[in-house]
Structure 1
Amino acid sequence: MDTSIRVEQRDAVAVISLNRPDKLNAFTPDMQRALQDVLTGVERNEEIRAVVLTGEGRAFCAGQDLESIQHHPDLNYGEVLKQGYNPLILKLTKLEKPVIAAINGVAAGAGVSLALACDFRIASERASLIQSFVNIGLIPDSGSTWLLPRIIGLTKAIELMFLGEKISAVDAARIGLIHRTCPPEQLLPEAMALAERLGKLPTKAIGMTKRALYKGLGNTLEQSLEYEAQLQELAGRTNDHQEGLRAFFEKRTPEYQGR
C-alpha cells in the first residue's frame, strides 16, 4: 500500500499531506500517481468543498527525487513530464474546488510548480522557495514557465528562474508569489480556517470562476465575454444561486450546499 500521500477529511475539508519526510517529500512516479488518485477522489466527493495541500516534516516538496533517476542516464525527461507531472498540474488547476497550499518548509523545483497550481498559497515564516532547475542544467517545468510570470510578472520570473536563488517566504509574499506568511505553528490552523471559510461559500460558482480565470488567460476579451455568459447560464441554475437570492431578500446569511 502506498503511504507517500496521506489524506484526511475534516468535515468539508480534505487535508492532503505529501508523506516522504525523509526525502523532503520529493516526488517519485508512484507518489505522483497516488496524488492524482487522491485528487480524483476529492473531485468526485460532493461532501468535500475545499482542499489543503501540505507536506510532512520540514519540507513542502523538494521536487523530483533525483536519486530515483540517478541510475537512468537515458531517461526521457519529456515522457516523465507528460506521464506524471503534467496531468497532476492540470488536475489541480481544473479541480473545481478551492485548493490551499500550506507551505510548511522548502519548496523546490516541481514543488514550487505544485504550489503555483494551487489557488491560495500560505507559508510558514521559515519556508523558502527555489526555482532550482537551472542549478542542474534543466528548464523550469510542471507549468512553472506558464504560471510564475502570470503570478509575479515576467521580470521577476526571469530573475528567479535564471539565477536559481532561494527566496524566503517573507520575500515571496512581498512580490505576490504567495498570499501571506504566518508562524510555523499557525500554518495549518490558518490554512484550515481559510478552507472552512471557502467551504461555506457557493462551491459551484467558485469552480466556474476558476474555470473562467484559467481559460481567460488565453482568451481575447470577446472570447471571455462569451465564456462568462455560458458559465453564468449554468451558475444561474444552481441551488446555491437560488439560496443566495432567498437569503438576500430574507436578509439572512445564506447556507450554501455546493449544489
Structure 2
Amino acid sequence: MTVSNHYETVKLHKEGRVARLQLNRPKSLNALDAGLMKDLLGALKEVKADPEIALLVLTGEGKGFSSGGDIKSMLTLSGEEQFSGIMDTISELVMTLYTMPKVVITGIHGAAAGLGFSLALASDYILCEEDSKLAMNFIGIGLIPDGGSHFLLQERLGTHKAKRLIWNGKVFEGQEALMKGLVDEALPSGKLKDGIQRYIDQCLAAPVKAMLKTKEIYVSLNKERLQHALELEKEGQWLMRQTGDHQEGIRAFAEKRKPEFKGI
C-alpha cells in the first residue's frame, strides 16, 4: 500500500488498482474550506495521473461524509475577487471529479449536505447508510446549489424533479434517497465499508477498460454542459449573496432560529 503524506486535510491510500481518498476535517464534519478544497484537488489530480489506478473511493473521516461548504469561512470572503477564486476552485474540483478516467465510488455515512452532496453526485456510484442524511439545502440560506448540482441533479432526476428537490431543500435519509434515485445503494448502518468492498470486487472482476471507455464517451458528450452550469452557478451565487434573504438566512443560521424570508 502507498500512502501520500503531503496533504493536511485528506488521506490518500493506493493499493493495487484502487485509490482511497478520505476527507479529513472530522471536527468540522469535513466542511469544505479553502484548505480542504486545495488538498482534495491535489489528491484528485494525483489519482488522475496514476495509470495503475482504475477505481477511486471517496469517503469522509469521523461522523459524516461532509456538511458542505464551510459557512464560517464563506462569511469572511470580503469581495467578488475572493468569492470568484473560491468558486473557480469548486468548479475545478467538480470537473476533475466528473471527468476522472477512473470508476469513482462515493461512500456516505452521516451527513452529505450542500457542496458535500454535490461532490458525491459527481461520482459514478454512490452508496450510503440507511441513517445517513442527504440534503441539497442551499435554499435554507437563500442561495442556489453550486458544485454543478443543477446539471448533476438533472442527470439523475430530470429537470422537473431536480427543481422541486432544490426548492424544497429537504433532508433525505438513505432509503428515500435510493427510491428517489439520488444514490445507487442504501446499506444498513455500519455496513458501508462492506458494501464499498463488494462493489470494488464487482468492478475489478469486470472488463474495467470497457467500463471506462463508456464513461469517457458520456464525459465527452456532457462536459461542456457541466462547465456551462458551473459558470451560471458562479454568476447566480454571487447575485444571491447580495440579497436580503441570504443575509436573513445566515443570521437565522447563526441564531439557530427559523428564517423569515421576504423575497428580497
Matched residues in 2 for 1:6 and 1:78: separation? 27
Q: Moved runs in structure 1, 4+ residues, more than 6 A? A: none
User: 1:19 aligned to 24, 38, 43, which one?
Assistant: 24
Matched residues in 2 for 1:188 and 1:123: separation? 10
TM-score, normalised via structure 2 length: 0.77
Cα deviation, residue 89, structure 1: 0.6
Which residue is 1:74 aligned to?
Answer: 79
- Check whether the contact 1:125–1:170 (CA below 8 A) recurs between aligned residues: yes
- Check whether the contact 2:31–2:68 (CA below 8 A) recurs between aligned residues: yes
Which residue is 1:187 aligned to?
Answer: 192
Matched residues in 2 for 1:152 and 1:174: separation? 11
Cα deviation, residue 69, structure 1: 2.4
CA distance 1:77–1:41, shift in 2 (3 Å): same
Cα deviation, residue 73, structure 1: 4.2
Q: Which amino acid is the alignment partner of residue 40 of structure 1?
A: K
User: 1:136 aligned to 141, 146, 163, which one?
Assistant: 141
Cα deviation, residue 200, structure 1: 3.8
Cα deviation, residue 217, structure 1: 4.3
Matched residues in 2 for 1:218 and 1:8: separation? 28
Q: Which amino acid is the alignment partner of residue 215 of structure 2?
A: K
Tell whether 2:155 aligns with 1:153.
Answer: no
Q: Which amino acid is the alignment partner of residue 181 of structure 2?
A: G
User: Cα deviation per residue 1:63-104 (whole Å; 9 max; x = unaligned)?
Assistant: 11111122334355343211x111111111111110110011
Which residue is 1:205 aligned to?
Answer: 210
1:69-148 alignment runs, 5 A limit: 69-74=74-79, 76-82=82-88, 84-148=89-153
Which residue is 2:178 aligned to?
Answer: 173
Matched residues in 1 for 2:10 and 2:205: separation? 26
Count of residues in correspondence between the two structures = 218
Q: Which amino acid is the alignment partner of residue 114 of structure 1?
A: L
Cα deviation, residue 218, structure 1: 7.7
Q: Which amino acid is the alignment partner of residue 50 of structure 1?
A: L
Structure 2 unaligned blocks of 5 or more: 1-5, 225-264
Which residue is 1:248 aligned to?
Answer: none
Which residue is 2:54 aligned to?
Answer: 49
- Across the aligned residues of Structure 1 and Structure 2, the Cα RMSD in angstroms comes to 1.8
Which residue is 1:33 aligned to?
Answer: 38
User: Cα deviation per residue 1:106-149 (whole Å; 9 max; x = unaligned)?
Assistant: 11111111010000000011111111111111111110001101
Structure ID, larger Rg: 1
Matched residues in 2 for 1:51 and 1:193: separation? 14
Structure 1 unaligned blocks of 5 or more: 220-259
Matched residues in 2 for 1:159 and 1:73: separation? 32
Tell whether 2:161 aligns with 1:162.
Answer: no
TM-score, normalised via structure 1 length: 0.79
- Check whether the contact 2:77–2:83 (CA below 8 A) recurs between aligned residues: no
Matched residues in 2 for 1:59 and 1:157: separation? 24
